[in-house]
Amino acid sequence: MTDSTIPQHIMSQIETDQQNEITAAAVYTRAARIMKDQQNAQILRRIASEELSHYKRLEKITGKVKKAQKGKVIFFMFIVRLFGMTFGLKLLERDEDKAVNIDYKGLEKYIPGISEITDQEEAHEHELLAMINEQRLEYIGSVVLGLNDALVELTGALAGLSFAFQNTRIIAFSGLITGIAASFSMAASEYLSAKADGEEEPLTSSVYTGIAYIITVLLLIIPYLIFSHYLVCLISTLIISVLIIASFNYYISVAKDLEFKKRFLEMSGISLGVALLSFGIGVVVRQVFGIEL
């Protein structure tokens, strides 16, 4: 039954939270079904059960029945399958936190024991950190190596080639050849480094590094295959570079609870700084050697 002593604006927030709880319970239940590790699956089922108990507790307060939002459930399960369990579920927790801001401890005077919901919600994130052991997160350092090196080296190379040659086709193929060769070199270096450090799967580390490098290379040279003016291509490539850095750092900030802004600005500053320096070198080379293509 609805508690009439609770202010209406607070009751409205509680109803929103109630909706979120039943939706989260549905997501955790589905995530548990596709989790191969049974211990992790059991933890997910327990968290789903807690979310459901929160929903029932809130249902008694609001007196209203809510159903899981199918669109949200489908969306978060898509994210889980595409980007991994850790990222998907932590994104769900963030969504719950942002959706409503209720001071449950302040509601204790109306509903004794209600602050338990907050305490359990805070425990969820810590459990998720400890429970999931995904390969893509184990080798995130290898991905960072490939991604960062490709961004720094290729944005710099493309910037230099852009002013030196001013021919988008030549720049594109030069960048592609340089990038592929560098990706093999980087993958080999990562294999030797991982093996020297005694890692169990040095080949896997090198594969992650190489794939991250090649994907970044392909994304950065796309403008040179689409546009005809070299400056338009260069600006587009730099924008793509910033978008890659932003996307990757957002993923890491969610999955590993790291600060987004500092890492983003650092990587962007390095990549764009090298690109600017290389562009200047390209200007000098063109003027000194009189390259005309």
The verdict on 228 and 120 lying in the same domain is no
The verdict on 149 and 278 lying in the same domain is yes
The verdict on 153 and 278 lying in the same domain is yes
Residue where one domain finishes, among candidates 93, 111, 133: 133
Residue 121: pLDDT band (50, 70, 90) is low
The verdict on 171 and 273 lying in the same domain is yes
pLDDT at 58: 86
* Residue 160 domain-assigned (yes or no): yes
The verdict on 143 and 73 lying in the same domain is no
* Residue 2 domain-assigned (yes or no): no
* Residue 114 domain-assigned (yes or no): yes
The verdict on 278 and 148 lying in the same domain is yes
Q: How many domains does the chain have?
A: 2
0.85 exceeded by pTM = no
Residue 277 contacts residue 266 (beta carbons within 8 Å): no
Which pLDDT tens digit goes with each residue over 18-72?
A: 898 899 999 999 999 988 888 888 888 888 988 898 899 889 888 899 999 999 9
State percent of the chain over pLDDT 70: 81
| More confident position, 108 or 239 | 239
The verdict on 209 and 272 lying in the same domain is yes
Mean pLDDT of the chain: 81
pLDDT at 293: 46
Domain that holds residue 235: 136-289
